[in-house]
Structure 1
Amino acid sequence: MTLSLAACGSGNDSKADNANADASAAPAATAAGEADQDAAPAQDSGEEVTLSLMVTTRPTTDNKDFYLDWLPELVKEKYPNINIEVEQLPTDQYKQTVKLKFASGQGPDIFTWWAGLQAQDLVDAGYVRDMSDFSQLGKFSKSIADSYSFDGKTYAIPLGSSFLTTWYNKDAFTDAGIDKIPENWDEFLAACDKLKAKGYTPITMGDKQSFVIQFGVYQVGASAIYADNYDFDKQLFTGETKFTDPAWIDTINKYKSLYDNGYIIENSLGLSQEQSRQAYLDGKAAMIIDGSFGYDALNKQGAVEFEKGMFAIPSNEAGKEFVYNLTPSNGIFVSANSKNQEAIDQVLEYWFTEGTPLFEKWVELSSDIPCYEGVEDKRPLIQEYLDRYKDYKNIYNLNNAWPEGVSDMMCTKFQEVIAGDATAEDVCNAMQSKFEELTDK
């Protein structure tokens, strides 16, 4: 397994390690009709087939969603005998539900899943199909595809990359006298103080859904842990490092301090992710800790109109190395035991063959930084962000390198921290105990 640390804008990997991504999204429209003719032949008749597709909950927008609307609709136009039934679940329920379905022999035909060790869990269980022979796989960045590869086989179609980030209200920053993006921890805290003094709630979070806690902890941990020891996660498995080491306790304490200092919106434990995002859009908080995957949900107008921007939380001390998060996005996986492999192949060929109507709609609506050859991401905010950090080291989303369950423990335990019922040491002890339980150490 290789965890990619590079954003991608094309199929070659010439801009690898510092993520100097050709991150740009709407594709150059190539002869859709010609490409469509080269795709798998349509089945105008034949046995009716229903494919199950599972995805995490889609953001609420005013437009048709790719997975919920366009994918079933365009597949039906191409293959009248193929129906796609889509099930969406919040992230904190999704993982458990997918695994339970597979354990009971009822796994989805097609589903999205994470890279790294989280993918390896499904591979080791025999749940997912080897996709190494998928005809379009070579069109995707190899460095990203390798994030879903084990023992020389690739088990997913990569959808791109994404980054954790902090969305901010540029107008609020200007009003509070903040004239530049914070570049270290002290500057970040000072910015929060200035916003608070000006009457703004600095940050909103939807901590009722515990998974969002990762978005902040991983941004803080990127510099606080991995600047000094980039191999920290590898060394967890050899016993050289532990989650109870000072670097991790410092990370949790730093993130905890944002709550202790009143920088996070009141009653964050009572807010969902969607409610928190709306609070940011409505001008009720100057920042929200989220990700590039929230682009469609956050790059729209709420009750208040303002200019938006993004930056990574700089947990580094002044003059010390800064590291930010950049990670492979979810990939498309196929059930190894599905009885509908032929129909699945037809859908995937149609989806990922350049120029087909389905391909064009996918690229148009994808929230991921594309990694398909020749496809560019032209969203200005994404490009601005990647240009800002192109010369800095990056790290994957940290849980990609952990056994499944450690991040869940971290998030639920940190909810107790927010409630005042646990300490940073409690969080780190719980993470280490869960890690040892899962790795038999």
Structure 2
Amino acid sequence: MTRFLDRRSALRLFGAAGLGLGLAACAGPGGGSSGTASGASPSGLATSGAVKGTVSFAHWRAEDKAVLAGLVKAFVKKYPDAGVEQDIAPSADYQSTALRRIQGSRTGDVFTAFRGAQFQQIVKAGVYAPLTGTDVVDAYQRLLMGPGAQDGKQYGLPYQLVFNMPLANTDALDKAGHTAAPKDWDGFLQLLDDLKAKGYTPLAWPGGDSANAGQLLNVMVMNNAPSDDAFARIESGTLKVTDDWFLGTLEQYAALRPYLQERATGSSTDAVTRLFAEGRAGLLATGSFQMAGVRALGATFPFDLVAPITTAAGKAKYEGVFNTTFILGVNSASTVQPAAYAFLEFLSDPENAGAYANGTGQHVTVEGVEYTNADLRAVAPWLTRKTLLAPRFQFLDLDIRTAVENATVAVVGGKKPERAAEEAQRVIDQKRS
């Protein structure tokens, strides 16, 4: 079994001077960013011209505001006639309102998108100025760029590389007698039992937050699903949530009930993050993107990631889940495209991307970045493990995704798995009719 201590010592493989992003199964070759605002784009994007005017940068990461402000200051020093204003909305609001806000460039000369449904909607609306053929694309690891492409064109640049799996307080796990990651479902339940026996809330889960309640679903299905594209097949109708594999997943959600905090189905992400940060929970069922937020609340304990393995020992195909998201792009209606493109290139420079990563606790997809952030280094061994691209973002119809995710919430709330699955399938069938 892989020991938590061994995960930390594995960092020696990456060198002491800084951690270069190495992905055995996910990464690809790529060049460096030109770092300039010149050049012609065959897609029509204005990449040349005077870099001037105020760029509106629309995104959902309020916790990144200060780090981005520092980068904006450096950008303005390089381009004195330009400026950048951050336009930030909460992630749930951004998911539902971003297209309306950025269409017509009322805001968001540079903007971000979630992988999956939102990205597809924005591409369909013609808001992205395609980046195919521009120099900035070469700054990124090519095999991680798929979520920002469609029909052979690169519309956006997935900037963040995150792990959508429970964040662990390894001090708590050590006290519970677990120095190794569970390799099967019985082992995971035993871990939760042992955490509970030591007085911890074993698994803090934000069941009342639609943006994050479904993060746990990624790892709950990664080894249960009959195919890697199972959620896409549920949406197309070739699989159903009443199939045995998904019913089995819902039964496993039911088995988690005794290990979640009180009123789990109504808990917000902020509430469970505080619970975890205060050292009262062993696992936080969101992802690596919460590390900086936990630190901001004063936590000093070491981190790791622990994915529930839902199969019997030796039957798991994947060890965990990753996602490439925060898809950066330039607005096709922007009146300051040269400045917007210059800012995109600036963020894509390895030194600046490293400043973002280390300051925010987010791995990035830019080539050549070195990580000095202790938490990023702690979870770095996951960069080379066998992980699945987060399946919940396969859903392109958000109503269908919500129906599937709501079934898990309903089961945690006490509903029988069969009934929850039937109700979700009715919604799916209605959406497809």
- Which interval holds the TM-score relative to the shorter structure? 0.7 to 0.9
How do 1:128-147 and structure 2 match up within 5 A?
128-147=128-147
Cα shift at 1:47:
10
- Go from structure 1 to structure 2 and tell me whether the alpha carbon gap of 1:364 and 1:379 turns closer, same or farther (over 3 Å shift): closer
CA distance in structure 2 between the partners assigned to 1:59 and 1:211 by the alignment? 16
Alignment match of 1:248 (pick from 246, 249, 272): 246
Return the offset for 1:108.
2.2
Residue 245 of structure 1: CA displacement?
1.5
Q: Which residue of 1 aligns with 2:62?
A: 58
Aligned residues of 1:53 and 1:111 also touching (Cα < 8 A): yes
Cα shift readout 1:400-433 (whole Å, capped 9, x = no counterpart): 211131333334454444444x443454345445
1: distance between equivalents of 2:72 and 2:429?
43
Q: Which amino acid aligns with 2:389?
A: Y
Q: RMSD of the alignment, in Å?
A: 3.5
Quick one: distance in 2 between partners of 1:119 and 1:437? Answer: 24
Any idea what SS the aligned residue of 2:173 has? helix
Could you say which residue in structure 1 is the equivalent of 2:11? none
Q: What are the ranges of 5 or more consecutive residues in structure 2 without an aligned counterpart?
A: 1-13, 15-19, 40-49
CA distance in 1, matches of 2:421, 2:105: 35
1:181 corresponding residue in structure 2: 181
Compared CA separation, residues 274 and 20, structure 1 to 2 (3 A): same
Cα 1:176–1:70 change in 2 (3 A) is same
1:325 partner amino acid = V
The Cα shift of 1:130 comes to 0.7
Paired residues in the alignment total 401
Counterpart among 396, 409, 413 of residue 403 in structure 1:
396
Aligned residue number for residue 190 of structure 2: 190
Q: Which residue of 2 aligns with 1:26?
A: none
Residue 147 of structure 1, CA deviation: 2.2
Other-structure match for 2:256: 258
The percentage of counterpart residues that share the same residue type is 22
In 2, the alpha carbon distance for the partners of 1:65 and 1:57 equals: 10
Question: CA separation of 1:237/1:173 partners in 2, compared to 1, >3 Å: closer, same or farther?
Answer: closer
Aligned match of 2:282 = 286
Amino acid corresponding to residue 359 of structure 2 in structure 1: L
Q: Does 1:153 align with 2:149?
A: no
CA distance in 1, matches of 2:228, 2:54: 45
Q: Would the alpha carbon gap of residues 148 and 16 (structure 1) be closer, same or farther in structure 2, given more than 3 Å must change?
A: farther
Aligned counterpart, 2:341: 345
CA distance in structure 1 between the aligned counterparts of 2:243 and 2:271, rounded to whole angstroms: 35
Counterparts of residues 11-410 of structure 1 (less than 5 Å): 17=25, 19=26, 49-59=53-63, 65-67=66-68, 69-102=69-102, 106=106, 108-225=108-225, 228-236=226-234, 239-259=237-257, 261=258, 263-299=259-295, 302=298, 305-323=300-318, 324-355=320-351, 358-359=352-353, 361-377=355-371, 379=373, 382=376, 385=379, 387=381, 390=384, 392=386, 394-405=387-398, 406-410=400-404
Q: What is the DSSP-based 3-state SS (H/G/I as helix, E as strand, rest coil) of the residue aligned with 1:75? A: helix
Unaligned runs of 5+ in 1: 1-8, 23-29
CA shift digits 1:280-300 (9 cap, x unpaired): 121111211121212222356
1:387 maps to amino acid: P
CA contact (8 A) 2:219 2:321 kept: yes
SS of aligned partner of 2:339: helix
Deviation at 1:364, TM superposition (A): 3.5
Amino acid at match of 1:50: T
Aligned partners of 1:47, 1:380: CA distance in 2, in Å?
36
Please tell me whether the aligned partners of residues 117 and 400 of structure 1 are also in contact (alpha carbons under 8 angstroms). Answer: yes
- Could you tell me whether the CA contact under 8 Å between 1:208 and 1:268 is conserved in 2? yes
Contact 1:310 1:381 in 2 (8 A): no
Normalised TM-score (structure 1): 0.79
For the residues of structure 2 that align with 1:168 and 1:205, how far apart are their CA atoms?
A: 13
Distance 2:52 2:207 in 1: 43
Q: Which residue of 2 aligns with 1:6?
A: none
User: How far is the alpha carbon of 1:154 from its aligned partner?
Assistant: 0.3
Is contact 1:206–1:276 with CA below 8 Å preserved after alignment?
yes
Distance 2:350 2:168 in 1: 35
CA distance in structure 2 between the aligned counterparts of 1:416 and 1:384, rounded to whole angstroms: 35
Task: Indicate how the Cα distance of structure 1 residues 129 and 362 shifts in structure 2: closer, same or farther if over 3 A, else same.
Answer: same
Give TM-score scaled by structure 2 length: 0.80
Superimposed CA distance per residue, residues 17-73 of structure 1 (whole angstroms, 9 cap, x where no aligned partner):
3x4899xxxxxxx9xxxx87x5669xxxx897332222114338xxx7223x22432
CA distance in 2, matches of 1:337, 1:380: 40
Distance 1:255 1:132, change over 3 A: same
Paired residue secondary structure (1:287): strand
For residue 371 of structure 1, what is the amino acid of its counterpart? T
Q: Give the corresponding residue for 2:10.
A: none
Distance 1:419 1:342, change over 3 A: same
